[in-house]
Amino acid sequence: MGFQRITLTVNDLVETVDVPTNMTLLQMLRDKLSLTGTKNGCTAGECGACTVLMNGEPVNSCMVLAAECEGATIITVEGLAKGGQLSKVQQAIIKTGGVQCGFCTPGMLISATALLARNTNPTEHEIREALVGNLCRCTGYVRIVEAVKEAAKM
Amino acid sequence: MINPHPGLPELEYLKPSSLEEASKFLADHAGEARPFSGGTDSFVRLRDGVWKTSTLVDVKHLDGTNELSFNPNKGLTIGAAVTMNKVASNADVLKHYPNLAEAARSVASYQLRNRATIVGNICNASPAGDTIGTCMILDGVLNVHGVSGFYSVPLSNFFLGPGKTVLKPGDIVISITLPIPPKGMVGTYKKLGRNTIGDLSIVGVAVLGYPTHETKSGFRFRIALASVAPTPYESFKAEAVLSENPITADSIAEAAQAAMDSVTPIDDVRGSARYRKFMVRNLTREAITETWKKISK
DSSP A27: H
| Shortest CA gap A108–chain B (Å) | 11
Can you list the domains of chain B with their CATH numbers? Answer: 12-58 (3.30.43), 68-178 (3.30.465.10), 186-296 (3.30.390.50)
Per-domain residue ranges of chain A: 3-79, 88-153
- Residue B52 is predicted with a pLDDT of 84
Q: What is the largest CA-CA distance in chain B?
A: 59
Does the beta-carbon distance from A48 to B111 stay under 8 Å? yes
- Residue B5 is predicted with a pLDDT of 58
Cite the beta strand spans of B218-275 per DSSP E. Answer: 219-226, 233-234
Q: State ipTM.
A: 0.97
Does the beta-carbon distance from B2 to A44 stay under 8 Å? yes
Does the beta-carbon distance from A57 to B4 stay under 8 Å? no
Instruction: List chain A residues with pLDDT less than 70.
Output: none
- Residue A31 is predicted with a pLDDT of 95
Residues 74-93, chain B, touching A (beta carbon < 8 A): 85
Starting at the earlier edge strand, list the strands of the sheet with B203-211: B186-192, B203-211, B219-226, B233-234
The Cα–Cα gap between B90 and B188 comes to 17
Instruction: List phi, psi (to 5°) of B33.
Output: -115, 145
Nearest to A62 among B6, B11, B12 (CB): B6
Instruction: List phi, psi (to 5°) of B226.
Output: -110, 145
pLDDT single digits (tens) B94-132: 999 999 999 999 999 999 999 999 999 999 999 999 999
Which of B45, B56, B66, B109 should we substitute to test contact with A (largest number of A Cβ atoms within 10 Å)? B109
Chain A residues near any Cβ of chain B (below 8 Å):
1-2, 4, 21-24, 26-27, 40, 42-46, 48, 51, 54, 57-60, 62-65, 67-68, 111, 114-115, 128-130, 132-134
- Residue B198 is predicted with a pLDDT of 85
Residue in chain A lying closest to B1 (CA): A44
- Residue B7 is predicted with a pLDDT of 80
pLDDT single digits (tens) B44-76: 999 988 888 899 999 999 999 999 999 999 999
DSSP B269: T
Say if CB B225 and CB B259 are below 8 A apart.
yes
Instruction: List phi, psi (to 5°) of B189.
Output: -130, 120
Q: Quick one: which of B228, B232, B231 has its CA closest to B266?
A: B228
Instruction: List phi, psi (to 5°) of B63.
Output: -50, 125
Does the beta-carbon distance from A24 to B9 stay under 8 Å? no
Please name the CATH architecture into which domain A3-79 falls: Roll (3.10)
Does B32 touch chain A if contact means CB atoms closer than 8 Å?
no
Say if CB B140 and CB B177 are below 8 A apart.
yes
- Residue B41 is predicted with a pLDDT of 95
- Residue B6 is predicted with a pLDDT of 61
| Shortest CA gap A112–chain B (Å) | 11
Burial B25-62 (b: 16+ CB within 10 A, else e): bbbebeeebbbbbbbbbbbbebbeeebebebbbbbbeb
Does the beta-carbon distance from A65 to B13 stay under 8 Å? yes
Q: Is pLDDT of B83 > 90?
A: yes
- Residue B51 is predicted with a pLDDT of 86
Q: Quick one: which of A129, A142, A132 has its CA closest to A100?
A: A142
For chains A and B, what is the number of CB pairs under 8 angstroms? Answer: 97
Nearest to B43 among A40, A63, A128 (CB): A63
Q: Which residue has the higher pLDDT, B113 or B5?
A: B113
Q: Quick one: which of B251, B258, B216, B209 has its CA closest to B233?
A: B258
Residues of B in contact with A51 (CB under 8 A): 111
Residues of B in contact with A114 (CB under 8 A): 110
Is A88-153 a domain of CATH 1.10.150.120? yes
Residue B182 CB: number of other CB atoms within 10 A?
A: 16
Q: Is pLDDT of B2 > 60?
A: no
Does B115 touch chain A if contact means CB atoms closer than 8 Å?
yes
> Residues near A137 by Cβ (< 8 Å), separated by ≥ 6?
A101, A104
Residue B161 CB: number of other CB atoms within 10 A?
A: 10
Residue in chain B lying closest to A48 (CA): B111
Which run of H or of E encompasses A110?
A: helix A105-118
Does the beta-carbon distance from A23 to B47 stay under 8 Å? no
Cα distances (angstroms) measured from residue B20 to each of A94, B26, B27, B35, B166: 54, 10, 11, 13, 20
Residues 186-225, chain B, touching A (beta carbon < 8 A): 197-198
Residues of A in contact with B3 (CB under 8 A): 43
Does the beta-carbon distance from B198 to A133 stay under 8 Å? yes
pLDDT single digits (tens) B262-296: 999 999 999 999 999 999 999 999 999 999 999 98
Which run of H or of E encompasses B275?
A: helix B273-296
Nearest to A21 among B4, B13, B197 (CB): B13
- Residue B197 is predicted with a pLDDT of 86
Residues of B in contact with A32 (CB under 8 A): none
The Cα–Cα gap between A88 and B213 comes to 58
pLDDT single digits (tens) B161-220: 999 999 999 999 999 999 999 999 999 999 999 988 889 999 999 999 999 999 999 999
Residue B272 CB: number of other CB atoms within 10 A?
A: 13
Nearest to A43 among B3, B112, B197 (CB): B3
Does B112 touch chain A if contact means CB atoms closer than 8 Å?
yes
Say if CB B29 and CB B16 are below 8 A apart.
no
Does the beta-carbon distance from A43 to B58 stay under 8 Å? no
Which of B58, B110, B130 should we substitute to test contact with A (largest number of A Cβ atoms within 10 Å)? B110
**Radius of gyration of chain A, Cα coordinates, nearest whole angstrom:** 15
The Cα–Cα gap between B185 and B212 comes to 10
The secondary structure of B97-114, three-state, reads CHHHHHHHHCCCCHHHHC
The Cα–Cα gap between B77 and B71 comes to 8
Q: What share of chain B is helix, strand, coil (3-state, %, to 5)?
A: 35, 25, 40
- Residue A42 is predicted with a pLDDT of 93
